[in-house]
Amino acid sequence: MRDWGQKVKVVLLAGGLGTRLSEETAVRPKPMVEIGGMPVLWHIMKMYSHYGFNDFVICLGYKGYLVKEFFTNYYIHNSDITVDLCKNSVEIHKNASEPWRVTLVDTGVDSMTGGRIKRIEDYIDGTFMLTYGDGVSDIDIRKLLEYHKSKKVTATLTAVKPAGKWGQLEIGSGDRVKEFMEKPKGDGGYVNGGFFVLEPKVFDYLKGDNTIWEREPLERLAKDGELCAYKHDGFWYAMDTLRDKTNLDDMIAKNKAPWMKW
């Protein structure tokens, strides 16, 4: 399998308001909401890094300065240091940081998803990957990339079947429960799970800040025969609500977090 790690950048959408998680996002961007003690954005980056992809471009918007502060101070937070107050100096002793190169781009507070992608065009010089800053998965990133390359299309999205949000009951005669399923699959259809692989030509499908990536651009790509779906039937989970955050925290606490392969 070809080594694309040094060539393919990873773009992360991290600028939305996250209104359905307002308990947390009133004070921080949604991707900075912590699961297992670290931002969900960090978890997503660790997923890509596990497969050798360490060059990231993060699309900032709402409270983007908090993401900048996180990465600006990341090196110090993950090292042993001595602070000399008299000399106003910091000495680094042990570094346990990541091998990441992170480009942080202000893509506008009110920009839509397509507008954010358009704004990072100058930072892209070839095939790149893109995903949302709130979804984790056990997807094999390298297999996804190889699949995309084999199809020779402009865009590939990952198609998933999300679990139902609520337990499902099958009720028989006399109102007796015949079967109970805690987390059944949805309605059986595939949905857009993010984890895209894109060619630079995709920028031709994007207009201004008001462009919604999931609407006209993807619809046009599909109509032009330039969009493929990589079917992933494994684990995938999007953190949309406080309940989702709690579920992800529980998975980590029980050492049953399928996305944590590192």
In a domain, 94, yes or no: yes
Residue 106: name the closest of 14, 25, 229, 193 by CA. Answer: 14
CA distance 56 to 76: 20
Name the H helices within 28-119. Answer: 40-50, 64-72, 74-77, 113-119
3-state secondary structure at position 129? strand
DSSP 185: B
6 three-class SS: coil
- Residue whose structure tokens are 């991707």: 31
Rounded Cα distance between 182 and 163, Å, is: 9
Structure tokens at 250: 């529980």
- Residue 47 covered by a domain: yes
Residue with tokens 């060059």: 55
Q: Is residue 124 part of a domain?
A: yes
CB 5 within 8 A of CB 52: yes
**pLDDT (0 to 100) of residue 192:** 92
- The confidence score (pLDDT) of residue 78 equals 84
Tell whether 249 is covered by a domain.
yes
pLDDT tens figures, 141-156: 999 999 999 999 999 9
Q: Which two tokens stand for residue 76?
A: 């110090």
* Number of domains the chain contains: 1
> Tens digit of pLDDT for each residue in 11-38?
999 998 877 777 777 888 999 999 999 9
Flag whether 62 is in a domain.
Answer: yes
Summarize pLDDT for 205-244 with one digit per residue, the tens: 999 999 999 999 999 999 999 999 999 999 999 999 999 9
Domain-located, residue 259: no
Whether 71 maps to a domain, the answer reads yes
Structure confidence at residue 7 as a pLDDT band (50, 70, 90): confident
pTM of structure: 0.88
Is residue 1's pLDDT more than 60? no
**Domain annotation covers residue 172:** yes
Residue 190: φ, ψ to 5°: -80, 150
Cα 234 from chain centroid? 16
Q: Tens digit of pLDDT for each residue in 84-117?
A: 999 999 898 877 778 999 999 999 999 999 999 9
Q: Give the range of the structural domain holding residue 118, as residue numbers without chain letter.
A: 9-253
Query: Domain containing 158 — which CATH number?
Result: 3.90.550.10
